[in-house]
Amino acid sequence: MALLQVVVAQHCPFCRDAEELARRARTWFPDLNIEILDLEADGAVKPDAVAAVPTFLLDGRVLALGNPRAEDLRRRLARRLAARCRGGGAHATYDPRDRS
C-alpha cells in the first residue's frame, strides 16, 4: 500500500495548511496510508528527499514541495497511484513544472 508522508515543522506557518491537505487526501483516497511527520517532534528523522517544509512524499519520493492547490494534489496522487497499480511505480521523478 502506498504511503503519503506530509513533512511539517511546528515553526512553519504553511504547515497547518499542509495538514489540512493531508486530511482531504484521506477522504479522496481512503486506502492510502497517510502520515504527518513533524520534524520538530522528539526522535523525528528527516527523510533524505526533504529540503524544506512542507513537503509531500509518496513512497519516499517528492510529490510536492510546498502546498499545492487541493485539486493539483488530488490529480498528482491519482496519477501516481494509477501508475503504481499499472506497474509503473509511484517513483516517477518530481517535476516542479508539473501543475496538474
pLDDT tens digit string along 22-32? 999 999 999 99
Report if residue 97 sits inside a domain: no
Measure the CA–CA gap between 80 and 52, rounded to whole angstroms: 22
Residue 83, C-alpha cell as written in the block: 501508475
The total number of structural domains that make up the chain: 1
Does residue 29 belong to any structural domain of this protein?
yes
Length of the chain: 100
Its domain, for residue 75, covers 3-85
In a domain, 93, yes or no: no
CATH number at residue 70: 3.40.30.10
pTM: 0.84
User: Could you count the other beta carbons within 10 Å of the beta carbon of residue 40?
Assistant: 12
For residue 95, tell me if it sits in a domain: no
Residue 19 has a pLDDT of 98
At residue 84, the pLDDT reads 82
Tens digit of each residue's pLDDT (9 = 90 or more) over 49-93: 999 999 999 999 999 999 999 999 999 999 999 988 877 554 444
- Coil, helix or strand for 64? strand
DSSP, res 10: T
Has residue 13 got a pLDDT over 60?
yes
Asked if 58 and 80 count as a contact pair (C-beta separation under 8 A), the reply is: yes
97 has a pLDDT exceeding 70: no
* Most distant CA atoms of the chain, gap in Å: 39
Cα separation of 4 and 68, whole Å?
14
Tell me how far CA of residue 49 lies from CA of 53, 58, 89, in angstroms.
11, 11, 17
Answer yes or no: is pLDDT of 18 > 80. yes
In a domain, 15, yes or no: yes
pLDDT for res 90: 44
